[in-house]
A and B are shown apart, each in its own frame.
Chain A
Amino acid sequence: MADTPEVPPATGPRGFARRVFDSFWRVGWPRDERAALRALLQSLVLHVHAPKVRPSALTFRATWGLGFVSLILLGALTATGVYLMFYYSPHPSAAYRSMKDIDFVLPFGLLTRNVHRWAAHAMVFLVTLHMVRVFLSGGYKAPREANWVVGVLAWVSTLALSFTGYLLPWDQLAFWAVTVGANMVAAVPGVGPDLRVLLLGDAAVGEPALLRFYVLHCVVLPLVILGLVSFHVFRVRKDGGLVTTEHAPALPDGTRPRMVPAWPHLLYREVVLTLVTVVVLLAVSLWVDAPLEPEADPARTPNPAKAPWYFLGVQELAHYSAFWGGVFVPAALVLGLCALPYFDRGTAGLGRYFPRERWLACTLFSATMVFLAVVTLIGTLFRGPGWAFGWYWP
């Protein structure tokens, strides 16, 4: 083959190891640009990268790393989630007990649970920011409409994964947050109560709900998000990479900057970002323990009973009107986001944040997001017993 290494194969154990490595990685360590391109294209994992990227796409502010870090977090969640699944038992009589055993007895159990918890919260937060970033740079416009829709669905899946995982510890926090969430579902006109039964398998949170949430959290939704995210990443490449590349600034001499190979420039940045993500996650998880409250007790309602933080904006709105705040606004938001690229079709100002040409769209979107952030903050920090307004640091 043309790719046969120049050095003849070594003998002995080193040679054997070398042969095994080469059987998987056939192109050798790339020493020039050509070899780097070949390496990318040959690799199943790496060939989602474009072989060459524009230098502007490598800058941090081009993406803030939000999508990539979300992907890393998804990986961390999968790994820790599998470990937790070995010890977790999805039955009300055993679930809380298994949480205690994970925390107190299982080697690295508490650390694993902390990583899983904090990575999940971070992922909800970062995926949302990723969506904001893409919107502000116009990344949802042709030819990326479909990928935007897939992204919105992946965002919803992320929320659903987080929500279903919220119930599993079977503590007071879990039980009542999910009860509140399920009550919001019940506010859907007409079929609301039936939807709640469909979700919980019962009129209230109990054994069927725990099993349902477990299966959704560990099997169904991971498969869904795996499919969506794979497609999402694939389409980023097929749609021409980052939207910034089309409007990269010209160099002083008037030429476009030369494209650089993704190996090593993009890959190195990804490695560094992965490292930083892991380090931050590990540091937080080593020193901040995931919350665990007393065992779920249907007879003791905490006051106020709050949904998970990312639904507190909706709960706050539902406080004013169960239907308009709790059903209409979230549904309109998701549907509106999906429909957005098919109506907002201007092409001016793409690739820049908050460009003058798109001031209206960006302002409206930002206002919506700020509004949601504000009601979420109010619901989180300013609502006490009886949903009374005040200063309630959790």
Chain B
Amino acid sequence: MSETPTRTPFWLDATFAGSAVALVILLGVAMAREWARPPLIAQRIVPALGVVDRCEHCHSEDTHPGEMLTHHPPERFGCTPCHGGQGWALTARDAHEARPDWERPLFTLAEREAACGRCHLSGPVPGAPRLEVGRRLLDTLGCRACHALPGAGETPPGLPLDGLSLKVEPAWVRWFLTAPENPDGPAPRHRMPRFDLEPDAVEDLVAYLLRPAAPLAAAPEGDAERGRTAVATRRCATCHRIEGRGGDFAPSLDLAGAKMRPEWLVAFLRAPHAIRPGIDMPEFGLDEREAADIAAYIAEQLVSDTGETPWSKAIAVDGDPARRAEAGRAVFARSGCRGCHVTADVPLDRPGAPLAQIAGRTAAERPPAADGEDPPDVPAFVARKVASPRVFDPPGGPAGVMPQFRTTPDEAVAIGIAVAALGGRSVPVEYRRDTAPRPFAPPPGVIADLFERKRCLSCHRIGGTGGDLSRIPLDGVGARLDRTWLARFLEAPTTVRLDQPERMPVLGLSPEEAARLAEYLSLTLDAAWSAEPVPVGDATRGEALYGRHGCATCHVHRGQGALGGPGLDDAPRRLRPVYLSTLLRAPERVPNGRHAAVRLSAGDAADVAAFLSTATAPATVVPATAATGVPSAD
């Protein structure tokens, strides 16, 4: 303990010497590490995107495959916006892998596709086809009903369910909620996913949905035969399947008599939008008698021959209706039904997590899969969840409420990609590409009212939006069709193409309404080419050209020809000469799928147009006006 003052102990000297040596060695290691680092760092800095990418420290842009860099130059986009990873890092491990300070490793293929969607906010993206598919599915499957989704909201995709007891038979509801064959059920295009409810819960739900409602006014007795004729002349079969034939755009009406109540049908047919806002079906302007006739036709004739229906076998489970209705309300609220279906007494409460939040989840934040196979990325996670909604439920915890959608595995991945595209920081405005067409908005007032009541856009496209039931987009319709003919057609649709089933429904427009609508369409839905002068053609020469070019192979004219295209006998009244001449001369300017193969010189086109515009019966020639006529030659 007590030391001799003049001597230092050996261990002190040894520690000194050892520490000094260790210090030299450690400093040497530090210097060696520093020297091993590159003196210059190759980096791309894109301040607008917050990007500092040092990828080119190891990689060269010259080796980038494909054409991507020609329209996404690295000096404007950097690397990590598309590829992920940590751009700041200088080692492959730090740059590529998930690290404690960087949870997002390099993007997988699906994540790269999703990354396109951060800038390409809408519209098709070349090279990312699944993104567009997924986005469409997000809208059409009704994901928004349960999950908050950025962007414009849509009306709830399901039908409002108040007063359902006035509409349908309980057995049908019971069957609809349970039958695994639902996809082939009464509405082939219906979007409702499968909820896999217990029979008791189904019965509760039936009791709740069919709770008593104030009865409808009694409807007059209809005549089924007259109703059958009305259904045929109104062309209901364009959308509905009736007596085994017709479209699948709307629910099948076969067996509708065994499902729906006539009084409700009458009320619905007279004012469909008052009872079902948001449906695609137009308001036909039926009077009470015609509506009653159609209801009688459905009730009497659209029933099963044998009296058997798929739902007649659905057995009711006993129970006190009032208590069941109360329990059913709880089932309705718990299962998230309210997301799609409005009822008065259940408030909207989205049970799903916001999709942008799901998109931002790192591997550590995603729940583990029940089978231990954790998806590698957000698209795969979402795809897994869509394909098997219960696989991420916590063991022992409450079961999730997400229903089973009828999606293919590819569709599920596409949905995952669309969801993953919602993650990440938002990009500056100058990087955003929002190419989706805006929905067409007719001018407020009588025209918008007509569009709204007659649901023109349920079937027709304008400016790239609208329904796809009609093959005739209304763009440029004013340049193609004669206004007078159009007004007559809107009032009482005639047959244009003999080879096609009649599809345009008889909408019940008054002559004034038809004229207003035709005027609007002619004046506003014009085309650039319609103002170009049409040379005065030689009809005689045109007739020869008509024969020489084999027009009769597809068209009927003066009783001769084939039914491959529209008949041309009414061309003078129906088609504007400028349309004819432009179509024949420059078919690409008049998008019309089947006419691209024909291309005539300007003179020939004018001659054929003159020939076709010459009425066969001079008495029906419509005088040329400023809007429709041939400009005077000068």
Contacts and interface: CB of A to CB of B under 8 A. Distances in A.
Partners in one complex: yes
B2 A56 contact: yes
B100 A293 contact: yes
A268 B12 contact: yes
Contact of B16 (A111, A251, A275): A275
Nearest to B361: A300
B30 interface: yes
A108 B103 contact: no
Nearest to B35: A107
Interface stretch (A98-106, A230-238, A356-364, A371-379): A98-106
B89 interface: yes
Interface string B235-256: 0000000000000000000000
B103 A294 contact: yes
A369 interface: no
Contact of A286 (B29, B41, B101): B29
A272 B90 contact: no
Contacts of B22: 279, 283
Interface string A257-278: 1101100110011011001101
B18 to A, nearest CB: 9
Nearest to A59: B1
Most chain B beta-carbon contacts within 10 A, residue among A264, A272, A300: A272
B102 A258 contact: no
A269 B12 CA distance: 7
B30 A101 contact: no
B2 A257 contact: yes
B5 interface: yes
B371 interface: no
A91 B2 CA distance: 57
B57 to A, nearest CB: 10
A286 B1 contact: no
**Chain A interface mostly:** helix
Q: How large is the interface on B (under 10, 10 to 19, 20 to 34, 35 or more residues)?
A: 20 to 34
A292 interface: yes
Contacts of A58: 3
A55 interface: yes
B30 A108 contact: yes
Contact of B89 (A104, A111, A249): A104
Given A272-B15, A293-B100, A294-B103, A260 B5 contact: yes
Contacts of B52: 97
Contacts of A278: 19, 23
B101 A171 contact: yes
A291 interface: yes
A381 B510 CA distance: 81
A242 to B, nearest CB: 15
Given A291-B100, A292-B100, A271 B16 contact: yes
B23 A279 contact: yes
B347 to A, nearest CB: 26
A146 interface: no
Interface string A275-304: 110110011001000011110000010000
Interface string B95-134: 0000011110000000000000000000000000000000
Interface string B1-27: 111010010001001100110110011
B34 interface: yes
A55 B3 CA distance: 6
B200 interface: no
Nearest to B87: A100
A104 B94 contact: yes
Contacts of B27: 282
Nearest to B37: A107
Given A105-B41, A108-B34, A272-B16, A282 B5 contact: no
A292 B89 CA distance: 13
A274 B66 CA distance: 60
B30 A100 contact: no
A59 B436 CA distance: 82
A294 B12 contact: no
Contacts of B94: 104
Contacts of B102: 294
A286 B12 contact: no
Nearest to B95: A104
A55 B20 CA distance: 25
Given A268-B16, A278-B19, 14 more contacts: A59-B1, A100-B88, A104-B89, A108-B34, A171-B101, A260-B5, A272-B16, A275-B15, A275-B19, A276-B15, A279-B23, A282-B27, A294-B102, A294-B103
Task: Pick the 7 closest A-B CB pairs, nearest first.
Answer: A260-B5, A275-B19, A292-B101, A100-B88, A282-B26, A279-B22, A272-B16
